[in-house]
Structure 1
Amino acid sequence: MGQAREVMDRLTTAMDQKDRDTLAGCYAADAVAYTPDRGELRGRDAITAYLYQFWDAMPDVHYEHAARHESGDVAIDEGTIIGTNTGPLPHPSGNNLPATGKQLRMKSCDIATVKDGEITEHRFYFDQVEFLSQLGLMPEMSEH
């Protein structure tokens, strides 16, 4: 196992255990993340704040791996995010969406570039429509 895989596994464990210090330590101070819902996030603090919001919205959130990959300084995780929405969920508009009590099971993919033992770039991929639909936050699509 290389350094990229080790850091990505440490990040996943920190997420599952809600370990803020270890989570923050996985990212370089000037790391950049790209997200489907918030766009580009610059810096460790912005990235970790983004991830912490999921703990508040879904305290039981965890990740089930489907596949783990590594090539040089890049680690890729494919899997399913699972959690129950029991807390408010921040919306990109700045408002909070109320808890729905619904469970989420959503496929995701993460690609992280690691240098000197820290993630310098992290790309998050998940389907926003699936996310909002499963939580009942998106109007039903009507067939016309």
Structure 2
Amino acid sequence: MVDKWKIKRGLADAINDHDLHRILDYFATDAVFVSPVGLAEGREQVGWIFEQFFKGFPDLHLNVWYEATESDDPMMVEWTGTGTHTGPFLLPDGRELQATGRRITLRGTCSSFVEHDRIATHREYYDQFELFSQLGLHLSSD
């Protein structure tokens, strides 16, 4: 029997190591990844999302501070992500925000469903407004 929490914790470690190959090994070939960034289907698209964050925040680090271990279907964790915006970061409208040097601290949660020893569905939730505000962006009436 597979230890689903070992998979979930391994994913967090791979993210903190910025090891894209290891990250993708945790996902099923046809995995679905849902986040404020959008919907990714399949490993290639999932990898692309992580690449965008690693480019913009080369020191990105997740600190998982709560695990809902009473259940493994789905596995739920809460985390805090920190990093420094020192590289280009893709915005929802397709523009790239060049490095601002600003530090971010972002709180979020995620849930993962594991099937056949791989993550089949992963959902990330965090406040994009909180992220963009810390990067110095503001709402516009334009």
Q: CA RMSD in A?
A: 1.7
Question: 1:74-109 CA deviation, whole Å, 9 max, x = no partner?
Answer: 211101000000001012222211111100001010
Aligned equivalents of 1:62, 1:73: Cα separation in 2 = 25
Aligned equivalents of 1:58, 1:9: Cα separation in 2 = 21
Does 1:68 pair with 2:67? yes
Aligned to 1:13: 13
TM-score, structure 2 as length reference: 0.91
Question: 1:42-97 CA deviation, whole Å, 9 max, x = no partner?
Answer: 11110111012111100100011220123133211101000000001012222211
User: Identity of aligned pairs, percent?
Assistant: 31
The answer for unaligned runs of 5 or more in structure 2 is none
Aligned to 1:93: 93
The answer for unaligned runs of 5 or more in structure 1 is none
Aligned to 2:112: 112
Aligned equivalents of 2:79, 2:56: Cα separation in 1 = 20
AA of the residue aligned to 1:62? H
Alignment length (residue pairs): 139
Alignment of 1:8-87 (within 5 A): 8-38=8-38, 40-70=39-69, 71-87=71-87
AA of the residue aligned to 2:111? I
AA of the residue aligned to 2:43? R
